[in-house]
Amino acid sequence: MRAGWIILFGLAVPARAQFWEPLGRGSLAWGNSAIVSLYGDTVLDRLLAGGNFVYMVNTVDTALCIGQAQWNGERWDSLAHRIQFWDGELSGAQPTYWFMRYRGDLYASGAFSLYDQELGEFSRGAARLVPEEQRWEVLECLNFSSTGMAALGWRDPQDTLYATGTTGSLCGYPESCAFAYDGQGFQPWPPWDEIPEDPNNYVGIIFKFRGCTYMSGTFLDPVAGTDWVSFIRYCGNGWEHVPGGEGIWGLKDVVIQGDTLLYVAGSFHTSEGAPGNLVVAFDGENWNDLGGGLAYAPSPGSGWVTDLLLWHGELYAAGMFTHAGGATAPKIAKWNGQQWCGLPGDHLTGGPKLNEMAVWRDSLYVCGDFEFADGVPANKIAKWIGGDAVSACSDPTGVGEASVEDTRMRVWPDGAGNWSIELPTTRSGPWQMTLTNVLGQVVRTALLANGKGRMSAVDLATGPYVLTAVNGTRLRYVTKVVRP
């Protein structure tokens, strides 16, 4: 029998490597039923899933979940007392967009309506879990269906949460597209008062980065007064344009790495004036297109990234795309600071996109519109079991663009906040050591007299870097290091 083939009923079929595995049998799918959010909760020690599904299917039974579910590593169950009623129709449930922990409490945000027993009223868009009773409660004031507030987040909360959406009112305050939330109640958000009024204003994500507050959406420009903008920042003295970020429209997710680097993802393209395609990096002043970014081959002006995730020092992107940095990478890819790589396997087939990723118990999970994972029925959700395996990778770019990694240079942490360095030769010194970040900026230098020494890693942001050693004879060694 040929290696790599299995003989079955007299026919030769290729053996299928397994890089993904299903979780039970996933959601019971019909129509547009989908899992749209994942969250690895370390307090409950559960993987949480949200969407407009009604059932989640285990290998031996089916759980009625109605838009929210929890996975304990072996089976699916509903999450707490079910957050919403179900009329018995199979058309789906009102979706949960995301879960988040904020000041110790678990919050959910979505299009669901939650009934308040005391007030006899419905509230929509957000809820908080009461762990002692395993039930969801409305927040400090009701969010009626007539208001424009559509989401509470963003899903990686900082010191403040924001209720955002189209123009509406909360808690009797004047209408706005953004209200601040501190875990005790909603308050008006003063920076919004400087945005020109317009019934079509819309706010998506608000977050803080390097001392400024950034806001995405579609709203009248507070700087120019008449034009529409989608990405601006407030640095204490008023709103300003983000340098070079005027072409970023359709922002869907952001990830901040150590408060020194911001990754932004969405549906923007360089052809529309953006600094990159679907995903870019920003240090507060300068942009990096991350090797040309991502692309959707069936429609080059289309495609998007819906979710970003930092895991083991690498950036993962998921959404609707087919290529990353020119390499084939359908729906999911990872950036290691120098190049993009796809994840192998005949994976996640049956639909064109992924919705979200999460890490739970140090494993990666994805959800989307797929039906199979490596040929096995998965129904919208799967777990990565492929380890460090990659498929196609793009050419190295950005950091260390002209360099080839040389693993003969050894680098390891010494436990005192330094990296110990040992070059393959102690001769031909001294050696000039240069450490660069993902934007190609030099963040640290050192001089090694004899090919052995240390470089401080104190105060460096977590993530990947490139370490280069060069001597007077132009002998050169390069390797990637990761600050955990």
Does residue 10 sit within a domain? no
Does residue 203 sit within a domain? yes
As a whole number of angstroms, the distance between CA 312 and CA 466 comes to 16
CB atoms within 10 A of CB 60: 8
Q: Is the domain of 252 the same as that of 306?
A: yes
Digit-coded pLDDT (tens) for 390-432: 888 887 764 333 333 455 688 888 877 888 888 876 555 678 8
Q: Is the domain of 377 the same as that of 416?
A: no
Does residue 243 sit within a domain? yes
- Is-contact 269 248, C-beta < 8 A? no
| pLDDT value at residue 405 | 43
| pLDDT value at residue 399 | 36
For residue 179, the number of C-alpha atoms closer than 13 Å in the C-beta half-sphere is 29
Does residue 397 sit within a domain? no
| pLDDT value at residue 430 | 77
Q: Is the domain of 458 the same as that of 317?
A: no
Q: Considering only CA atoms, which of 289, 294, 244 is closest in space to residue 267?
A: 294
| pLDDT value at residue 416 | 76
As a whole number of angstroms, the distance between CA 207 and CA 100 comes to 15
Q: Is the domain of 350 the same as that of 450?
A: no
**Which of 366, 384, 402 marks a domain boundary?**
384
Does residue 3 sit within a domain? no
Q: Is the domain of 24 the same as that of 61?
A: yes
Which residue is it, tokens 């549906």? 267
* Structural domain of 433: 410-483
Q: Considering only CA atoms, which of 62, 114, 109, 52 is closest in space to residue 83?
A: 114
- Is-contact 111 98, C-beta < 8 A? no
| pLDDT value at residue 30 | 60
Type of residue found at 371: E
As a whole number of angstroms, the distance between CA 308 and CA 319 comes to 9
Digit-coded pLDDT (tens) for 293-339: 999 999 988 999 999 999 988 999 999 999 999 999 999 999 988 88
Number of domains into which the chain is organized: 2
Does residue 5 sit within a domain? no
Q: Which two tokens stand for residue 306?
A: 């819906």
Give the CA dihedral 449, 451, 454, 460, nearest 10 degrees: 110
What CATH code is carried by the domain that includes residue 468?
A: 2.60.40.3080
Q: Is the domain of 66 the same as that of 184?
A: yes
Q: Is the domain of 250 the same as that of 139?
A: yes
Compute the chain's Rg from CA coordinates: 24
- Is-contact 394 291, C-beta < 8 A? yes
- Is-contact 241 225, C-beta < 8 A? no
Q: What does DSSP assign to residue 361?
A: T
| pLDDT value at residue 12 | 31
What CATH code is carried by the domain that includes residue 91?
A: 2.130.10.10
Q: Is the domain of 156 the same as that of 287?
A: yes
Does residue 50 sit within a domain? yes
- Is-contact 201 217, C-beta < 8 A? yes
Q: Is the domain of 359 the same as that of 414?
A: no
First to last CA, the chain: 46
CB atoms within 10 A of CB 344: 15
Q: Is the domain of 96 the same as that of 61?
A: yes
CA angle (342, 40, 390) in 5-degree steps:
15
- Averaged pLDDT in 10-residue chunks for the chain of 484 residues: 32 56 84 87 97 92 94 96 75 86 96 81 89 92 72 90 92 93 95 95 96 96 90 94 94 91 96 95 93 93 95 93 93 90 77 93 94 88 91 67 52 83 71 79 81 85 83 71 80
Q: b/e for 384-415, b at 16 or more Cβ within 10 A?
A: bebeeebbbbbebbbbbeebeeeeebebeeee
Does residue 391 sit within a domain? no
Q: Is the domain of 359 the same as that of 415?
A: no
Q: Is the domain of 360 the same as that of 420?
A: no
